[in-house]
Amino acid sequence: MDLGSYLTLPFADHALAAGLLIALICGTIGPFVIARQMAFAVHGAAELSFTGASAGLIIAGDPVAGALIGSVVVAGIIGLLGERSRERDSAIGVILAAGLGLGVFLLSRYQGFASAATNILFGNIFGVSTMQILILGGLALGVMVVMITIYRPLLFASVDPELAEARGVRLKLLGVVFLVVLALSVTEAAQIVGTLLVLSLAITPAAAAQRVARGPAVTTLLSIAIAVIATEGGLLLALVFSTVPPTVFISAISFSSYFIARLCGPSITRRRRERLGHLVAASADHHDHA
């Protein structure tokens, strides 16, 4: 079966649509994940969605709802426990360890078919239902609306918190809102593409974009573009080479983009600096106002 005929099948269309939506939200939150040093929060939220899914499965037979509600709870706890990144990291570590233990316990009590919960950990992008696409679409819309609304103060708070606070930016509120957005995005993404892939979509594209882009807006757009290319490219390659899971291609493309950006970054930066024709450090002599 060739690629063209695959693309007429609903499971392939669903995968591509889900991939696009996930790439969009992961690419958008990525630069903030890096600026706020929250890579570990992404990891924690992704793995803890397993606990939420197990709880959801036992209580209501619905792992997805459980994971989403659980992620908001987790975001709230992390937000309350740790304001600074160092405190936050230990808080996440503590919750992660306890949460996974709880998840395993819950799953051991469950009599039914446990793959509904374990799917949260490993994802199944070629098994996305129409309903899941709709939920994902609504969530992506919500995430984008919130991110566009808080973009500027969040950037300010991430770049220079002391200054932002002095200018009346509510650091704590913004921090919790972003954590909730992050946890929801990561959880939703994890159940479709798996925990591993969430990391390579929420962090790697932004890290690559930062190496070559100048200015926050360009960085965000480039981060989204790399995430989309990696996801859709990876899915298409997986349809062609059907013995290899898409995860492999997606993480490979994503990592390659980072590798290339690291190689090209220094020369782009150097050329840019030369074009600006100046500096760095010598300016003390040029501006003797005394």
Partner 1 sequence: MSSIEILGLNAGYGERPVLQDLDLATQPGEFIAVLGPNGSGKTTLLKVLLGLLKPMAGSVLVDGTSPKPRNRVVGYIPQHRGFDRDLPIRGRDLVTLGLNGHKLGLLRASASERALVDRALDQVGALEYAEAPVGMLSGGEQQRLRIAQAILGEPSVLLCDEPLLALDPGRQSEVTRVIDQYRRTHNATVLFVTHEINPVLPYVDRILYFVEGRSVIGTPREVLTRETLSDLYDSPVEVVRVGERVIVLAGDEESHSELDGHHHHDHGEVPSPWI
The residues binding partner 1 (CB under 8 A) are 31, 34-35, 148-153, 155-156, 159-160, 162-169, 207, 209-211, 213-219, 269, 272-273, 276, 278-281, 283-284, 286-290
Minimum Å gap between C-beta 202 and partner 1 is 16
Nearer to partner 1, 42 or 57 (CB): 42
Nearer to partner 1, 4 or 168 (CB): 168
Q: Are 87 and 81 in contact (CB under 8 A)?
A: yes
Nearer to partner 1, 120 or 207 (CB): 207
Nearer to partner 1, 105 or 259 (CB): 259
Rounded CA-CA distance 236/75 in Å is 34
Rounded CA-CA distance 234/249 in Å is 5
Nearer to partner 1, 86 or 167 (CB): 167
Minimum Å gap between C-beta 34 and partner 1 is 8
Minimum Å gap between C-beta 250 and partner 1 is 23
Nearer to partner 1, 35 or 114 (CB): 35
Minimum Å gap between C-beta 278 and partner 1 is 5
Alpha carbon separation from 173 to 76, 147, 220 (Å, rounded): 11, 14, 22
Minimum Å gap between C-beta 203 and partner 1 is 13
Structure tokens at 234: 């990876």
Minimum Å gap between C-beta 16 and partner 1 is 28
Nearer to partner 1, 37 or 256 (CB): 37
Minimum Å gap between C-beta 149 and partner 1 is 5
213: left (phi over 0), alpha (psi -120 to 50) or beta: beta
Question: Radius of gyration of the chain from Cα atoms?
Answer: 21
Question: Pick from 19, 20, 3, 14: which is nearest to 239 by CA?
Answer: 3
